[in-house]
Amino acid sequence: MTDIVERRMLFIGGKWTGPAGSDTIDIVSPVTEQVVGRVPHATPADVDKAVAAAREAFDHGPWPRATLAERIEVVTRIKDALAARHRELAELVTLQNGSPMLFSVRGQALSAVGVFATALASAAQCTLEDERQGTGGPVLVRREPVGVVAAVTPWNVPQLTIAGKLAPALLAGCAVILKPSPETPLDALWLADVCAEAGLPEGVLSVLPADRETSSYLVAHPGIDKVAFTGSVGAGKAIMVSAARNLTRVSLELGGKSAAILLDDADLSVAVPAIVGGTCAANSGQACVALTRVLVPASRYDEVAAVLTGAFASLKVGDPADPETAVGPMVTRNQQRRNLDYIRIGQEEGAEVLTGGGVPEGLTTGWYVEPTLFGEVTNDMRIAREEIFGPVVCLIRYETEAEAVAIANDSDFGLSGAVFGADTDHATEVARHIRTGTITVNGFRLDLAAPFGGYKHSGIGREFGPEGLAAYFEYKTVNLPAPAKA
Protein backbone atom coordinates (compact mmCIF):
# COMPACT_ATOMS: atom_id res chain seq x y z
CA MET A 1 0.00 0.00 0.00
CA THR A 2 1.20 3.52 -0.80
CA ASP A 3 2.34 5.51 2.22
CA ILE A 4 -0.16 8.14 3.27
CA VAL A 5 0.83 11.69 2.29
CA GLU A 6 0.14 13.61 5.47
CA ARG A 7 0.23 17.30 6.27
CA ARG A 8 -0.24 18.40 9.86
CA MET A 9 -0.01 22.16 9.34
CA LEU A 10 -1.84 24.83 7.37
CA PHE A 11 -0.05 27.45 5.28
CA ILE A 12 -1.28 30.76 6.72
CA GLY A 13 0.27 34.05 5.72
CA GLY A 14 3.35 32.36 4.32
CA LYS A 15 4.05 30.26 7.42
CA TRP A 16 3.30 26.64 8.28
CA THR A 17 0.93 27.02 11.21
CA GLY A 18 -0.97 24.66 13.47
CA PRO A 19 -4.71 24.59 12.65
CA ALA A 20 -7.25 26.08 15.03
CA GLY A 21 -9.28 22.87 15.04
CA SER A 22 -8.55 19.17 15.26
CA ASP A 23 -10.59 17.90 12.30
CA THR A 24 -8.78 16.42 9.33
CA ILE A 25 -9.65 15.62 5.72
CA ASP A 26 -8.96 12.14 4.38
CA ILE A 27 -8.04 11.95 0.69
CA VAL A 28 -9.30 8.69 -0.78
CA SER A 29 -7.79 7.16 -3.90
CA PRO A 30 -10.36 6.83 -6.71
CA VAL A 31 -8.43 3.74 -7.84
CA THR A 32 -7.99 1.72 -4.65
CA GLU A 33 -10.68 3.36 -2.49
CA GLN A 34 -8.04 3.57 0.24
CA VAL A 35 -6.92 6.65 2.16
CA VAL A 36 -3.79 8.06 0.49
CA GLY A 37 -3.58 11.46 2.14
CA ARG A 38 -4.61 13.44 5.19
CA VAL A 39 -4.58 17.19 5.78
CA PRO A 40 -5.94 19.57 8.43
CA HIS A 41 -9.45 20.91 7.96
CA ALA A 42 -9.37 24.70 8.10
CA THR A 43 -11.95 26.42 10.31
CA PRO A 44 -13.45 29.92 10.30
CA ALA A 45 -10.85 30.83 12.93
CA ASP A 46 -8.13 29.87 10.45
CA VAL A 47 -9.86 32.02 7.84
CA ASP A 48 -9.83 34.99 10.20
CA LYS A 49 -6.12 34.50 10.77
CA ALA A 50 -5.40 34.20 7.05
CA VAL A 51 -7.47 37.28 6.22
CA ALA A 52 -5.69 39.29 8.91
CA ALA A 53 -2.31 38.26 7.51
CA ALA A 54 -3.41 39.03 3.95
CA ARG A 55 -4.81 42.42 4.92
CA GLU A 56 -1.58 43.33 6.69
CA ALA A 57 0.45 42.20 3.68
CA PHE A 58 -1.74 44.12 1.25
CA ASP A 59 -2.39 47.26 3.30
CA HIS A 60 1.14 47.71 4.67
CA GLY A 61 3.48 45.12 3.15
CA PRO A 62 6.00 45.31 0.32
CA TRP A 63 4.24 43.13 -2.28
CA PRO A 64 1.65 45.60 -3.64
CA ARG A 65 4.28 48.34 -3.49
CA ALA A 66 6.92 46.38 -5.36
CA THR A 67 7.58 47.26 -8.97
CA LEU A 68 5.99 45.06 -11.58
CA ALA A 69 9.47 43.88 -12.56
CA GLU A 70 10.12 42.75 -8.98
CA ARG A 71 6.88 40.78 -8.87
CA ILE A 72 7.65 39.24 -12.26
CA GLU A 73 10.98 38.03 -10.88
CA VAL A 74 9.37 36.16 -7.98
CA VAL A 75 6.52 34.71 -10.04
CA THR A 76 9.04 33.55 -12.64
CA ARG A 77 10.78 31.55 -9.92
CA ILE A 78 7.44 29.90 -9.06
CA LYS A 79 6.89 29.04 -12.73
CA ASP A 80 10.39 27.66 -13.13
CA ALA A 81 10.02 25.47 -10.03
CA LEU A 82 6.72 24.11 -11.34
CA ALA A 83 8.37 23.28 -14.64
CA ALA A 84 11.35 21.59 -13.00
CA ARG A 85 9.16 19.53 -10.68
CA HIS A 86 6.21 18.92 -13.00
CA ARG A 87 6.54 15.14 -12.92
CA GLU A 88 6.38 15.15 -9.11
CA LEU A 89 3.28 17.33 -9.30
CA ALA A 90 1.65 15.08 -11.90
CA GLU A 91 2.19 12.00 -9.76
CA LEU A 92 0.60 13.73 -6.78
CA VAL A 93 -2.43 14.73 -8.87
CA THR A 94 -2.84 11.20 -10.21
CA LEU A 95 -2.66 9.86 -6.65
CA GLN A 96 -5.48 12.06 -5.38
CA ASN A 97 -7.53 12.62 -8.56
CA GLY A 98 -7.14 9.38 -10.47
CA SER A 99 -6.34 11.31 -13.65
CA PRO A 100 -4.53 9.20 -16.28
CA MET A 101 -0.82 9.99 -16.03
CA LEU A 102 -0.59 11.40 -19.55
CA PHE A 103 -3.32 13.90 -18.70
CA SER A 104 -1.78 14.63 -15.30
CA VAL A 105 1.49 15.58 -17.00
CA ARG A 106 0.04 17.60 -19.87
CA GLY A 107 -3.37 18.75 -18.67
CA GLN A 108 -2.63 19.20 -14.98
CA ALA A 109 1.06 19.99 -14.28
CA LEU A 110 2.33 21.43 -17.57
CA SER A 111 -0.89 23.37 -18.14
CA ALA A 112 -0.27 25.15 -14.85
CA VAL A 113 3.24 26.00 -16.03
CA GLY A 114 1.70 27.33 -19.23
CA VAL A 115 -0.73 29.56 -17.36
CA PHE A 116 2.10 31.05 -15.30
CA ALA A 117 4.13 31.59 -18.49
CA THR A 118 1.32 33.35 -20.36
CA ALA A 119 0.44 35.46 -17.30
CA LEU A 120 4.08 36.52 -17.07
CA ALA A 121 4.06 37.40 -20.76
CA SER A 122 0.96 39.54 -20.26
CA ALA A 123 2.52 41.25 -17.26
CA ALA A 124 5.68 42.03 -19.24
CA GLN A 125 3.51 43.93 -21.76
CA CYS A 126 1.45 45.70 -19.10
CA THR A 127 1.88 49.31 -18.07
CA LEU A 128 0.59 50.30 -14.64
CA GLU A 129 0.13 53.96 -15.59
CA ASP A 130 -1.04 55.54 -18.83
CA GLU A 131 -1.32 59.24 -19.45
CA ARG A 132 -3.95 60.34 -21.91
CA GLN A 133 -5.73 63.52 -22.91
CA GLY A 134 -9.11 63.91 -21.25
CA THR A 135 -11.88 66.32 -22.16
CA GLY A 136 -10.72 68.87 -19.57
CA GLY A 137 -7.01 68.23 -19.44
CA PRO A 138 -4.46 65.45 -19.04
CA VAL A 139 -5.52 62.26 -17.24
CA LEU A 140 -3.42 59.59 -15.56
CA VAL A 141 -5.01 56.12 -15.56
CA ARG A 142 -3.53 53.75 -12.99
CA ARG A 143 -3.89 49.99 -12.65
CA GLU A 144 -3.83 49.09 -8.96
CA PRO A 145 -4.23 45.64 -7.38
CA VAL A 146 -7.80 44.77 -6.43
CA GLY A 147 -6.76 43.69 -2.93
CA VAL A 148 -7.18 40.47 -0.96
CA VAL A 149 -8.41 37.64 -3.18
CA ALA A 150 -10.24 34.49 -2.10
CA ALA A 151 -9.44 31.87 -4.75
CA VAL A 152 -11.81 28.92 -4.48
CA THR A 153 -10.86 26.04 -6.77
CA PRO A 154 -12.39 22.69 -7.79
CA TRP A 155 -11.14 19.12 -7.75
CA ASN A 156 -11.06 18.25 -11.45
CA VAL A 157 -8.04 20.25 -12.71
CA PRO A 158 -6.77 21.75 -9.46
CA GLN A 159 -3.41 23.14 -10.60
CA LEU A 160 -4.77 24.63 -13.82
CA THR A 161 -7.56 26.43 -11.99
CA ILE A 162 -5.23 27.55 -9.18
CA ALA A 163 -2.73 28.95 -11.69
CA GLY A 164 -5.47 30.82 -13.54
CA LYS A 165 -6.15 32.79 -10.37
CA LEU A 166 -2.87 32.80 -8.46
CA ALA A 167 -0.51 33.86 -11.27
CA PRO A 168 -2.38 37.02 -12.36
CA ALA A 169 -3.35 37.93 -8.80
CA LEU A 170 0.27 37.80 -7.63
CA LEU A 171 1.52 39.71 -10.66
CA ALA A 172 -1.08 42.42 -10.06
CA GLY A 173 0.12 42.78 -6.46
CA CYS A 174 -2.74 41.08 -4.63
CA ALA A 175 -2.65 38.86 -1.55
CA VAL A 176 -4.35 35.48 -2.03
CA ILE A 177 -6.17 33.04 0.23
CA LEU A 178 -6.45 29.78 -1.67
CA LYS A 179 -9.25 27.40 -0.69
CA PRO A 180 -8.75 24.12 -2.58
CA SER A 181 -11.38 21.42 -2.85
CA PRO A 182 -11.44 19.00 0.11
CA GLU A 183 -11.32 16.10 -2.36
CA THR A 184 -7.95 17.16 -3.79
CA PRO A 185 -5.91 19.44 -1.49
CA LEU A 186 -2.51 17.76 -1.65
CA ASP A 187 -1.24 19.63 -4.70
CA ALA A 188 -2.28 23.01 -3.26
CA LEU A 189 -0.26 22.47 -0.08
CA TRP A 190 2.65 21.23 -2.21
CA LEU A 191 2.41 24.48 -4.17
CA ALA A 192 2.63 26.47 -0.93
CA ASP A 193 6.14 25.10 -0.41
CA VAL A 194 7.07 26.11 -3.96
CA CYS A 195 5.81 29.66 -3.43
CA ALA A 196 7.60 30.02 -0.10
CA GLU A 197 10.88 28.81 -1.60
CA ALA A 198 10.47 31.29 -4.47
CA GLY A 199 10.57 34.20 -2.01
CA LEU A 200 6.93 35.25 -1.84
CA PRO A 201 6.72 37.74 1.05
CA GLU A 202 5.03 36.95 4.34
CA GLY A 203 1.26 37.26 4.35
CA VAL A 204 0.78 37.16 0.58
CA LEU A 205 -0.42 33.54 0.34
CA SER A 206 -2.47 31.23 2.54
CA VAL A 207 -3.75 27.74 1.65
CA LEU A 208 -6.81 26.50 3.55
CA PRO A 209 -8.30 23.10 2.61
CA ALA A 210 -11.90 23.01 3.84
CA ASP A 211 -15.49 22.10 3.10
CA ARG A 212 -18.36 24.33 2.00
CA GLU A 213 -19.05 25.73 5.47
CA THR A 214 -15.58 27.23 5.82
CA SER A 215 -15.61 28.25 2.16
CA SER A 216 -18.89 30.12 2.68
CA TYR A 217 -17.37 31.92 5.64
CA LEU A 218 -14.35 32.90 3.55
CA VAL A 219 -16.24 34.34 0.57
CA ALA A 220 -18.55 36.31 2.88
CA HIS A 221 -15.67 37.75 4.91
CA PRO A 222 -15.64 41.57 4.91
CA GLY A 223 -11.84 41.50 4.59
CA ILE A 224 -12.04 39.96 1.11
CA ASP A 225 -11.95 42.30 -1.89
CA LYS A 226 -12.50 39.75 -4.68
CA VAL A 227 -13.66 36.15 -4.98
CA ALA A 228 -12.35 34.10 -7.90
CA PHE A 229 -14.25 30.82 -8.15
CA THR A 230 -14.31 27.78 -10.41
CA GLY A 231 -16.99 25.18 -9.80
CA SER A 232 -20.68 24.38 -10.12
CA VAL A 233 -23.42 26.77 -11.14
CA GLY A 234 -25.21 26.29 -7.82
CA ALA A 235 -22.12 27.16 -5.80
CA GLY A 236 -21.40 30.11 -8.08
CA LYS A 237 -24.88 31.55 -7.52
CA ALA A 238 -24.48 31.15 -3.75
CA ILE A 239 -21.15 32.98 -3.89
CA MET A 240 -22.72 35.86 -5.83
CA VAL A 241 -25.45 36.22 -3.21
CA SER A 242 -22.92 36.11 -0.37
CA ALA A 243 -20.48 38.51 -2.05
CA ALA A 244 -23.26 40.97 -2.83
CA ARG A 245 -23.69 41.75 0.86
CA ASN A 246 -20.22 43.34 0.89
CA LEU A 247 -20.20 44.32 -2.79
CA THR A 248 -17.22 42.00 -3.15
CA ARG A 249 -16.01 41.64 -6.72
CA VAL A 250 -16.51 38.19 -8.20
CA SER A 251 -15.31 36.22 -11.19
CA LEU A 252 -16.99 32.88 -11.80
CA GLU A 253 -15.96 30.05 -14.13
CA LEU A 254 -18.82 27.58 -13.96
CA GLY A 255 -20.21 24.64 -15.91
CA GLY A 256 -20.70 23.73 -19.53
CA LYS A 257 -22.72 21.58 -21.90
CA SER A 258 -20.76 22.33 -25.02
CA ALA A 259 -21.75 21.41 -28.54
CA ALA A 260 -19.55 20.02 -31.32
CA ILE A 261 -21.20 20.71 -34.66
CA LEU A 262 -20.26 18.44 -37.56
CA LEU A 263 -21.15 20.20 -40.81
CA ASP A 264 -22.11 18.28 -43.95
CA ASP A 265 -18.52 18.28 -45.21
CA ALA A 266 -16.84 17.43 -41.88
CA ASP A 267 -13.81 15.14 -42.14
CA LEU A 268 -14.33 12.39 -39.57
CA SER A 269 -10.61 11.64 -39.44
CA VAL A 270 -10.27 15.14 -37.96
CA ALA A 271 -13.52 15.38 -36.01
CA VAL A 272 -13.59 12.04 -34.20
CA PRO A 273 -10.14 12.24 -32.53
CA ALA A 274 -10.93 15.81 -31.43
CA ILE A 275 -14.29 14.77 -29.98
CA VAL A 276 -12.77 11.80 -28.16
CA GLY A 277 -9.96 14.04 -26.88
CA GLY A 278 -12.48 16.68 -25.84
CA THR A 279 -14.76 14.29 -23.99
CA CYS A 280 -13.75 10.92 -22.53
CA ALA A 281 -10.00 11.49 -22.80
CA ALA A 282 -10.25 14.96 -21.22
CA ASN A 283 -9.65 14.02 -17.59
CA SER A 284 -11.97 11.01 -17.98
CA GLY A 285 -14.76 13.37 -19.03
CA GLN A 286 -14.48 15.44 -15.85
CA ALA A 287 -13.97 18.74 -17.66
CA CYS A 288 -16.24 21.76 -17.84
CA VAL A 289 -15.16 22.33 -21.45
CA ALA A 290 -16.06 18.80 -22.60
CA LEU A 291 -17.85 18.48 -25.96
CA THR A 292 -20.76 16.54 -24.51
CA ARG A 293 -23.32 17.28 -27.26
CA VAL A 294 -22.31 16.12 -30.75
CA LEU A 295 -24.58 17.59 -33.43
CA VAL A 296 -24.66 15.60 -36.68
CA PRO A 297 -26.43 16.10 -40.03
CA ALA A 298 -29.27 13.60 -40.36
CA SER A 299 -27.79 12.46 -43.69
CA ARG A 300 -24.57 11.38 -41.94
CA TYR A 301 -25.99 10.27 -38.61
CA ASP A 302 -25.53 6.52 -39.07
CA GLU A 303 -21.99 6.97 -40.38
CA VAL A 304 -20.92 9.22 -37.50
CA ALA A 305 -22.64 7.04 -34.91
CA ALA A 306 -20.78 3.97 -36.11
CA VAL A 307 -17.36 5.64 -36.15
CA LEU A 308 -17.80 7.34 -32.78
CA THR A 309 -19.13 4.14 -31.22
CA GLY A 310 -16.02 2.30 -32.32
CA ALA A 311 -13.76 5.07 -31.07
CA PHE A 312 -15.40 5.20 -27.65
CA ALA A 313 -15.47 1.42 -27.28
CA SER A 314 -11.74 1.16 -28.04
CA LEU A 315 -10.67 3.48 -25.20
CA LYS A 316 -8.72 1.74 -22.47
CA VAL A 317 -10.27 2.25 -19.04
CA GLY A 318 -8.30 1.39 -15.93
CA ASP A 319 -5.33 2.20 -13.74
CA PRO A 320 -4.36 5.84 -14.35
CA ALA A 321 -0.71 5.00 -13.67
CA ASP A 322 -0.70 2.80 -16.81
CA PRO A 323 0.52 4.99 -19.71
CA GLU A 324 -1.91 3.20 -22.05
CA THR A 325 -4.95 4.21 -19.99
CA ALA A 326 -7.14 6.84 -21.63
CA VAL A 327 -9.97 6.93 -19.07
CA GLY A 328 -9.43 6.67 -15.33
CA PRO A 329 -11.91 6.62 -12.47
CA MET A 330 -14.27 9.35 -11.37
CA VAL A 331 -12.75 11.37 -8.55
CA THR A 332 -15.32 10.29 -5.93
CA ARG A 333 -17.91 7.58 -5.40
CA ASN A 334 -20.62 10.24 -5.57
CA GLN A 335 -19.36 11.31 -8.98
CA GLN A 336 -19.51 7.72 -10.19
CA ARG A 337 -23.07 7.41 -8.90
CA ARG A 338 -24.01 10.70 -10.57
CA ASN A 339 -22.80 9.43 -13.93
CA LEU A 340 -24.55 6.09 -13.56
CA ASP A 341 -27.76 7.86 -12.52
CA TYR A 342 -27.65 10.04 -15.64
CA ILE A 343 -27.05 6.98 -17.81
CA ARG A 344 -30.20 5.44 -16.31
CA ILE A 345 -32.11 8.70 -16.82
CA GLY A 346 -31.03 8.86 -20.46
CA GLN A 347 -32.35 5.37 -21.11
CA GLU A 348 -35.62 6.21 -19.37
CA GLU A 349 -35.92 9.30 -21.58
CA GLY A 350 -35.68 7.13 -24.68
CA ALA A 351 -32.06 7.61 -25.69
CA GLU A 352 -30.14 4.61 -27.01
CA VAL A 353 -26.86 3.45 -25.47
CA LEU A 354 -24.56 2.90 -28.45
CA THR A 355 -21.62 1.82 -26.28
CA GLY A 356 -20.81 1.75 -22.58
CA GLY A 357 -23.59 2.35 -20.12
CA GLY A 358 -22.21 1.01 -16.86
CA VAL A 359 -19.18 0.02 -14.82
CA PRO A 360 -16.39 -1.59 -16.87
CA GLU A 361 -16.17 -5.34 -16.50
CA GLY A 362 -13.54 -6.44 -14.01
CA LEU A 363 -13.15 -3.00 -12.39
CA THR A 364 -15.17 -3.54 -9.23
CA THR A 365 -12.68 -1.61 -7.09
CA GLY A 366 -12.35 2.04 -7.99
CA TRP A 367 -14.96 4.52 -9.20
CA TYR A 368 -14.99 3.76 -12.91
CA VAL A 369 -17.62 4.50 -15.56
CA GLU A 370 -17.51 3.16 -19.10
CA PRO A 371 -17.14 5.71 -21.90
CA THR A 372 -20.79 6.00 -22.88
CA LEU A 373 -22.23 7.27 -26.15
CA PHE A 374 -25.96 7.94 -26.36
CA GLY A 375 -27.75 7.99 -29.70
CA GLU A 376 -31.26 9.19 -30.58
CA VAL A 377 -30.91 12.09 -28.16
CA THR A 378 -33.08 15.17 -28.44
CA ASN A 379 -32.00 18.48 -27.00
CA ASP A 380 -34.85 18.60 -24.49
CA MET A 381 -33.63 15.50 -22.64
CA ARG A 382 -31.96 15.98 -19.27
CA ILE A 383 -28.80 14.24 -20.50
CA ALA A 384 -28.54 16.95 -23.19
CA ARG A 385 -29.26 19.87 -20.89
CA GLU A 386 -27.56 19.10 -17.58
CA GLU A 387 -23.85 18.82 -16.91
CA ILE A 388 -23.00 15.19 -16.11
CA PHE A 389 -19.23 15.64 -15.65
CA GLY A 390 -18.03 12.28 -16.82
CA PRO A 391 -17.42 10.18 -19.96
CA VAL A 392 -21.02 10.46 -21.19
CA VAL A 393 -21.73 12.02 -24.60
CA CYS A 394 -24.96 12.73 -26.51
CA LEU A 395 -25.39 12.32 -30.27
CA ILE A 396 -28.05 14.70 -31.66
CA ARG A 397 -29.18 14.83 -35.28
CA TYR A 398 -30.16 18.00 -37.15
CA GLU A 399 -31.67 18.74 -40.57
CA THR A 400 -30.34 22.19 -41.46
CA GLU A 401 -27.34 24.25 -40.49
CA ALA A 402 -29.61 26.87 -38.96
CA GLU A 403 -31.15 24.18 -36.80
CA ALA A 404 -27.69 23.07 -35.67
CA VAL A 405 -26.85 26.61 -34.57
CA ALA A 406 -30.19 26.87 -32.77
CA ILE A 407 -29.63 23.57 -30.94
CA ALA A 408 -26.11 24.56 -29.93
CA ASN A 409 -27.40 27.85 -28.53
CA ASP A 410 -30.42 26.25 -26.85
CA SER A 411 -28.62 25.70 -23.57
CA ASP A 412 -28.29 27.40 -20.22
CA PHE A 413 -24.53 27.14 -20.72
CA GLY A 414 -22.02 28.71 -23.08
CA LEU A 415 -18.47 27.74 -22.20
CA SER A 416 -16.84 25.83 -25.05
CA GLY A 417 -17.60 24.16 -28.37
CA ALA A 418 -16.32 23.16 -31.78
CA VAL A 419 -17.30 23.30 -35.45
CA PHE A 420 -15.98 20.80 -37.99
CA GLY A 421 -16.05 21.35 -41.74
CA ALA A 422 -13.78 21.02 -44.78
CA ASP A 423 -14.47 24.65 -45.71
CA THR A 424 -12.70 26.32 -42.78
CA ASP A 425 -13.91 29.81 -43.70
CA HIS A 426 -17.49 28.63 -43.60
CA ALA A 427 -16.93 26.65 -40.39
CA THR A 428 -15.44 29.78 -38.82
CA GLU A 429 -18.50 31.77 -39.87
CA VAL A 430 -20.74 29.18 -38.19
CA ALA A 431 -18.57 29.42 -35.05
CA ARG A 432 -19.26 33.17 -34.91
CA HIS A 433 -22.95 32.42 -34.37
CA ILE A 434 -22.49 30.16 -31.34
CA ARG A 435 -22.91 31.96 -28.01
CA THR A 436 -20.00 30.48 -26.13
CA GLY A 437 -16.80 31.77 -24.58
CA THR A 438 -14.41 29.49 -26.48
CA ILE A 439 -14.96 27.59 -29.72
CA THR A 440 -12.51 25.72 -31.93
CA VAL A 441 -12.67 25.16 -35.67
CA ASN A 442 -11.65 21.62 -36.66
CA GLY A 443 -10.24 20.69 -33.28
CA PHE A 444 -10.53 20.97 -29.52
CA ARG A 445 -8.32 23.48 -27.76
CA LEU A 446 -8.09 25.58 -24.61
CA ASP A 447 -5.56 28.28 -25.39
CA LEU A 448 -3.87 29.55 -22.24
CA ALA A 449 -2.91 32.87 -23.83
CA ALA A 450 -6.50 33.76 -24.78
CA PRO A 451 -9.43 34.80 -22.57
CA PHE A 452 -11.35 31.86 -21.12
CA GLY A 453 -14.80 32.02 -19.56
CA GLY A 454 -18.44 31.61 -20.38
CA TYR A 455 -21.71 33.09 -21.48
CA LYS A 456 -24.97 32.62 -19.57
CA HIS A 457 -24.76 30.15 -16.67
CA SER A 458 -21.17 29.30 -17.57
CA GLY A 459 -19.94 32.26 -15.60
CA ILE A 460 -18.88 35.87 -15.29
CA GLY A 461 -15.50 37.27 -16.27
CA ARG A 462 -12.48 35.79 -18.03
CA GLU A 463 -9.24 34.06 -17.06
CA PHE A 464 -5.92 33.67 -18.92
CA GLY A 465 -4.11 36.10 -21.18
CA PRO A 466 -4.18 39.90 -20.75
CA GLU A 467 -7.87 39.76 -19.89
CA GLY A 468 -7.16 37.40 -17.01
CA LEU A 469 -4.53 39.78 -15.62
CA ALA A 470 -6.86 42.76 -16.00
CA ALA A 471 -9.40 41.02 -13.74
CA TYR A 472 -7.10 41.62 -10.74
CA PHE A 473 -6.72 45.37 -11.22
CA GLU A 474 -8.79 48.32 -10.11
CA TYR A 475 -8.60 51.32 -12.43
CA LYS A 476 -7.95 54.74 -10.92
CA THR A 477 -8.28 58.02 -12.78
CA VAL A 478 -6.05 60.88 -11.65
CA ASN A 479 -7.10 64.16 -13.23
CA LEU A 480 -3.94 66.22 -13.70
CA PRO A 481 -3.82 70.03 -13.84
CA ALA A 482 -4.30 71.45 -17.27
CA PRO A 483 -1.16 73.13 -18.61
CA ALA A 484 -0.98 76.83 -17.97
CA LYS A 485 -2.01 78.97 -20.86
CA ALA A 486 0.80 80.90 -22.52
Instruction: Convert the chain into a string of H (helix), E (strand) and C (coil).
Output: CCCCEECCCEEECCEEECCCCCCEEEEECCCCCCEEEEEECCCHHHHHHHHHHHHHHHHHCCCCCCCHHHHHHHHHHHHHHHHHCHHHHHHHHHHHHCCCHHHHHHHHHHHHHHHHHHHHHHHHCCCCEEEEECCCCEEEEEEEECCEEEEECCCCCHHHHHHHHHHHHHHHCCEEEEECCCCCCHHHHHHHHHHHHCCCCCCCEEECCCCHHHHHHHHCCCCCCEEEEECCHHHHHHHHHHHHCCCCEEEEECCCCCEEEECCCCCHHHHHHHHHHCCCCCHHHCCCCCCCEEEEEHHHHHHHHHHHHHHHHCCCECCCCCCCCCECCCCCHHHHHHHHHHHHHHHHHCCEEEECCCCCCCCCCCCCCCCEEEECCCCCCHHHHCCCCCCEEEEEEECCHHHHHHHHHCCCEECCEEEECCCHHHHHHHHCCCCCCCCEECCCCCCCCCCECCEECCEECCECHHHHHHCCEEEEEEECCCCCCC
| Catalytic residue numbers, as ranges | 253, 288
